[in-house]
Amino acid sequence: MGKGFSKVLVANRGEIAVRVMRTLREMGIGSVAVYSEVDRASLHVRMADEAWPIGPAPAGESYLRVDKIIAAAKASGAQAIHPGYGFLSENPALPDACEAAGITFIGPPASAMRQMGSKTAARKRMASAGVPITPGANDCASAEDAVAVATQIGFPVMLKAASGGGGKGIRLVECAEEMAGAWERARSEAKKFFGDDTVYIEKAIVQPRHVEIQVLGDRDGNLVHVFERDCSIQRRNQKVVEETPSPAAPAELVAKMGAIAVQGAKAVGYFSAGTFEFLLAPDGQFYFLEMNTRLQVEHPVTELVTGLDLVREMVRIAEGNPLPFLQKDITRRGAAIECRVYAEDPSSGYLPSPGVIQELVTPAGPGVRDDGGAYPGCTISSFYDPLISKLSVWAPSRDQAIARMRRALSEYVVTGIRTNLAFHQRLFMHEDFVAGIYDTGFLDRNKDALVGYPTVPPDKADSLAVAVAIAASRLERATGVTSAQQGESGARLSPWVASHRARTLG
């Protein structure tokens, strides 16, 4: 049995900081927040037992400063640091600094981060460990070299930033003529976001699913997988909706992917929570994409179907405790889906919509979980990711989970800023998504249906206007609900939300 913590610093902000602090409070552990100047009134600061300022708004002067994080931990007397996701969560400099300061890092060892942090190094390491990787090359020095490799393995190919993540520094190349321009753009973006312009090339898997495996391990070398999550609903390589079980991965395939993920994690001496991401081809073959050496944004869906608290397990592992279960002990029940609710405008190319939230009503009821970091009157800052919350649901079956998500989305109210709630409502009405027929290109192919607005031929406009007016009048007489109370997506609104929106619209 390891020695328990009495105080933990959460080196993050927003919803993930709030989520970690909630588990700490359940465990009887004091929480320490850090905050930039613009986050002084943020929810994570209000939730914490104590809070320490770490600098100006830009992340490079606050949340990304290892020295300031360590100084705050020392000043507060925190015995450990949980990094959440993003910011310093996959930077080995933080666990190194923690070790030097006598502070426990709640996460994997720095050595595992270094082995898996570079995509090219990770590909080599995983190939040697028997993990299937996509055909490609790690050492192209020029666009000409890349064309030669692409010609050998066959177009289309992907160019990817070696130190990348979050969908940045990625380009799809369909033919040799596109390579030079794509090569320069990928390198430029990689340099801008990661300070490293190294890119590598790999075979593009056409219409793949993005399926990931959650792993969990202790310091004694015990490792398990905690099933899969399907993260194929993406825009610009950024996940938007995640679910488990995957509609495209039968149990036998998940077991095989899970065993491979555990094998790969053991090869780098991994412990704590981590995720192996795979591309699943239409023929059932899967290929290693990358490993995220941290807690994933979408971890709630795994928690909902298994009953595990992954943050709690991370803390227990960091305290030196062994895993309390074996692979055979882990079971799951039902289906869970998560929607990322962003302050952004999908109809304008997903441009961020920072500003002050005037009113905020989050869904509740059976099987609904909202991991949020906002409140009425708070500011969604332009300095950071515009995630408002992660709305997750659980139900005994996927069909019931979809129905529950529709209901939850209809209850969600955010005013003062634009959000992607209407997009999510449309998605959960799309017949192909409902049938589980989708891949990573789904949003691009269905953009007009999900984020666009219908167009009407000029010669039909007057007739349509009359028809809409008549239909609205009949509906109002029959139900007492005005047209202003109908949701943008056509999804049925709860009476409370309909009443609220009617008052808002005057």
- The residues carrying an active-site annotation are 294
Cβ-contact 79, 3 below 8 angstroms:
no
Cβ-contact 23, 309 below 8 angstroms:
yes
Bridge partner residues of 301 (DSSP)? none
The DSSP string of 218-230 is: -TTS-EEEEEEEE
How many angstroms separate the CA atoms of 232 and 252, rounded?
20
The amino acid that residue 459 corresponds to is D
β strands within 236-381, DSSP E: 238-244, 272-280, 286-292, 335-342, 344-345, 351-352, 355-356, 359-361, 368-372, 379-380
How many angstroms separate the CA atoms of 122 and 112, rounded?
10
How many angstroms separate the CA atoms of 237 and 208, rounded?
12
Q: Which residues of 29-56 are buried (b: 16+ CB within 10 A; e: fewer)?
A: bbbbbbbbebbeebbbbebbebbbbbbe
C-alpha closest to that of 216 among 207, 208, 226, 206 = 226
C-alpha closest to that of 11 among 23, 22, 2, 20 = 20
Strands of the sheet containing 170-173, edge to edge, are: 136-137, 199-203, 157-161, 170-173
Q: Which residues of 129-151 are buried (b: 16+ CB within 10 A; e: fewer)?
A: eebebbebbbebeebeebbebbe
Cβ-contact 85, 296 below 8 angstroms:
yes
The amino acid that residue 213 corresponds to is I
